Chain A
Amino acid sequence: MRILNLVPVGRVDRAQLTVLAGGLASHLGVACSIHPDGFDPGFAYNPLRGQYHSTEILKGLVRDTPAESWRVLGVTEHDLYIPILTFVFGEAQLEARGALVSLHRLRQEFYGLPADPQLLAQRLLKESIHELGHTLGLRHCADYLCAMSPSHAVERIDIKLAEFCPACVGAMAVL
């Protein structure tokens, strides 16, 4: 059975993870198990940038995940970066097991707007499906409604759907 390990990275609201698990189960048809303890990302903190190095966290996550689990998806409240970019919403290993998403810039509050829990849950689901898509070997897609369309700004996440377009579904079948 395909089991997706959902791992809180640092402190993350359980209810948020439960909603996400439900969404992933219905959209991707996978069972999710939420890790009880979580993963401490302290080692990946960069005090100069005030952000966490996403690639380092991803490596640690994959290392600590049992070999038999199908995929691991870390979810964090921290702001993530890779050295060359100012930030990332998430990161994934292409055609491998690990993916990571951050709630930090998905929150309306980050942009000075009132909190919107429903919108946040939607964004988290779309970003999670997007990063998991990379672990399944998918690259970015030109169809702006597809979950695999590039989203370098939160507005683009809101436009797209929590689903893969037929071309990406086809590409996945080949992979």
Chain B
Amino acid sequence: MNSKASILIVDDETVVRDSLGKWFEEEGYFVETATSAKDALFRLPSQHWDLALVDIKMPGMDGLDLQRKIHEVDSEIIIIIMTGYASVETAVRALKEGAYDYIAKPFDPDDLAHVVRKALEHRKVKEENVRLRQNLEQAQAVELIGQSRPMQKVLESIRTVAPTDTTVLIHGESGTGKELVARGIHNLSPRRFMPLVTIHCGALTETLLESELFGHERGAFTGAQYRKKGKFEIAEGGTVFLDEIADISLKTQTDLLRVLQEKEITRVGGNQVIPVDFRAVAATNKELSGLVKEGTFRADLFYRLDVFGIEVPPLRERKEDIPLLVDHFIRKYARAMSKRFESLSRPALDVLMNYSWPGNVRELENAIERAMVIGREPEIQPADFPLQFTATPNPEAGVTLEDVERGHILRVLESCDWNQTRAAKVLQIDRVTLYNKIKKYGFKKAFSEAS
């Protein structure tokens, strides 16, 4: 029996309150009774109630009015209406106004037990649903990993701005995770159940970008065989993420400014004005203010975008986050590759901590993925990283470039079970070059196995 569920019984008849109260108490519930609607409202805040059994006919405020009032205070309480006589009319009214169920007096004990059990199960499922959704949202929102101060500041900014409809401009070097910041804002915003649409502005020509953003009518240009919805229309109710915003032409900047200001678009080749509802988040790795001075970026668009700015720090400024990030990527790729990697060795971590990471987190992620391809489980070693990571000001004397190349190629070949196609891919050279190197150094599979 669910000993924790709490039930509030509201009835003006003493005999009903007493007998029902005792009955539910024997069933193992926590029970309190209220003599009137007013009394019930008075008891409501005293504790967390799972369910209220409310008599429909009471002097003063009746059961249906009380039901409304209870739901104003706590919309999650399940209300079951008790009626003196079963009438379709009252039942429909009760259910229409939000009651979970209704039950006619006197109750069959089996029916009463069943209705209450079913209602509480329904509530439990609802609560579980909310909890799982919250967990999922949190899991999605915390894709940004880092406990360093600069990263905490970013997370705080995300949490601050997410619930609003403010336009956000994210600035950060390439590979710092600007898209994850945008996703975090979307996932924590009221628009999270609507789409997040990303537009990589730098990847598209002016005409293509226009058609991507605003859509086009049939025949608008050569190849426009069908009418197409633009990203702003697709994102209806959600968020539009404009990545690499600095790379758009002045003409598109003008159109974009209009959309941001007027919240309406006109498809390419069309006349109809279409209202759109979206929240804009933009990102750039360039200094937009500098581009404004140069005259390649419109000042009014810059101010329209830069309402709330978030600066994503480069990895070299938050090196203390490297162990956490590494741990995350090892787990991610161990799952994807079905490998038993658990960690990286202390010297390997030192290598990563001493590197400057010009490519930021993206470079770190690639380095870990690559190391897990060529390294041996369960620990990543310094040798599993590209050479530039381990470059030191005073290189070891007597080691020639050829020695290094020879050793590295041999390691990669072994890790790929001597599959030359795979090894060439890891080494980022073509197969013929690899074949020539194998010949040059006299590698043989048998030689490797014997050694």
In the bound complex, do residue A142 and residue B106 qualify as a contact, i.e. CB atoms below 8 Å apart? no
CA distance A134 to B26 in the complex (A): 7
Q: Chain A residues near B113 (CB, 8 Å)?
A: 150, 152
From known contacts A94-B22, A141-B1, A152-B113, infer whether A83 and B27 are also in contact, taking CB-CB under 8 Å. no
Identify the stretch in A20-28, A61-69, A85-93, A118-126 within 8 Å (CB) of chain B at 4 or more residues.
Answer: A85-93
Does chain A have a CB within 8 A of B45? no
Partner of A88, one of B20, B25, B105, B109: B109
Q: Chain A residues near B18 (CB, 8 Å)?
A: 55
In the bound complex, do residue A152 and residue B109 qualify as a contact, i.e. CB atoms below 8 Å apart? yes
In the bound complex, do residue B109 and residue A85 qualify as a contact, i.e. CB atoms below 8 Å apart? yes
Q: Chain B residues near A84 (CB, 8 Å)?
A: 15-16, 19-20, 23, 105-107
In the bound complex, do residue A139 and residue B1 qualify as a contact, i.e. CB atoms below 8 Å apart? yes
Q: Chain B residues near A12 (CB, 8 Å)?
A: none
CA distance A134 to B27 in the complex (A): 10
**Chain A 109-148 interface residues, beta-carbon cutoff 8 Å to B:** 134, 139-142
Chain B, residue nearest A91 (CB): B22
5 further A-B contacts with Cβ under 8 Å, apart from A55-B19, A86-B109, A140-B1, are: A83-B16, A83-B19, A85-B112, A139-B25, A140-B26
**Chain A 30-62 interface residues, beta-carbon cutoff 8 Å to B:** 55
- Beta-carbon contacts of A72-111 to B below 8 Å, as 1s and 0s? 0000000001111111100010100000000000000000
- Beta-carbon contacts of B112-141 to A below 8 Å, as 1s and 0s? 110000000000000000000000000000
Q: Chain A residues near B25 (CB, 8 Å)?
A: 94, 139
CA distance A166 to B119 in the complex (A): 29
Q: Chain A residues near B20 (CB, 8 Å)?
A: 84
Q: Chain A residues near B23 (CB, 8 Å)?
A: 82, 84-85
CA distance A84 to B24 in the complex (A): 12
A167 to chain B, nearest CB (A): 11
CA distance A88 to B27 in the complex (A): 14
A70 to chain B, nearest CB (A): 21
Q: Chain B residues near A150 (CB, 8 Å)?
A: 1, 27, 113
Partner of A86, one of B13, B15, B19, B108: B108
Does chain A have a CB within 8 A of B72? no
- Beta-carbon contacts of B11-36 to A below 8 Å, as 1s and 0s? 00101101110110111100000000
In the bound complex, do residue B105 and residue A139 qualify as a contact, i.e. CB atoms below 8 Å apart? no
Q: List 25 A-B contacts (CB under 8 A).
A: A55-B18, A55-B19, A82-B23, A83-B15, A84-B15, A84-B20, A84-B105, A85-B19, A85-B106, A85-B112, A86-B106, A86-B107, A86-B108, A87-B108, A87-B109, A88-B109, A92-B26, A94-B26, A139-B3, A139-B27, A139-B28, A140-B27, A140-B28, A150-B1, A152-B108
CA distance A166 to B110 in the complex (A): 26
Q: Chain B residues near A92 (CB, 8 Å)?
A: 26
Does chain B have a CB within 8 A of A153? yes
From known contacts A55-B19, A94-B22, A141-B1, infer whether A81 and B106 are also in contact, taking CB-CB under 8 Å. yes
Chain B, residue nearest A92 (CB): B26
**For the complex of A and B, 4 pairs with smallest distance between CB atoms:** A152-B110, A152-B109, A82-B19, A139-B28
From known contacts A94-B25, A94-B26, A140-B26, infer whether A85 and B15 are also in contact, taking CB-CB under 8 Å. no
B34 to chain A, nearest CB (A): 15
Q: Chain B residues near A87 (CB, 8 Å)?
A: 108-109
Q: Chain A residues near B3 (CB, 8 Å)?
A: 139
Q: Chain B residues near A140 (CB, 8 Å)?
A: 1, 26-28
In the bound complex, do residue A142 and residue B19 qualify as a contact, i.e. CB atoms below 8 Å apart? no
Chain B, residue nearest A143 (CB): B1
Partner of B1, one of A55, A81, A82, A142: A142
Chain B, residue nearest A89 (CB): B109
Q: Chain B residues near A153 (CB, 8 Å)?
A: 110
Q: Chain A residues near B15 (CB, 8 Å)?
A: 83-84
**Chain B 23-63 interface residues, beta-carbon cutoff 8 Å to A:** 23, 25-28
Q: Chain B residues near A152 (CB, 8 Å)?
A: 108-110, 112-113
CA distance A56 to B439 in the complex (A): 104
A170 to chain B, nearest CB (A): 15
CA distance A86 to B113 in the complex (A): 13
B418 to chain A, nearest CB (A): 62
Q: Chain B residues near A81 (CB, 8 Å)?
A: 106
Chain A, residue nearest B109 (CB): A152
A101 to chain B, nearest CB (A): 14
Q: Chain A residues near B109 (CB, 8 Å)?
A: 85-88, 152
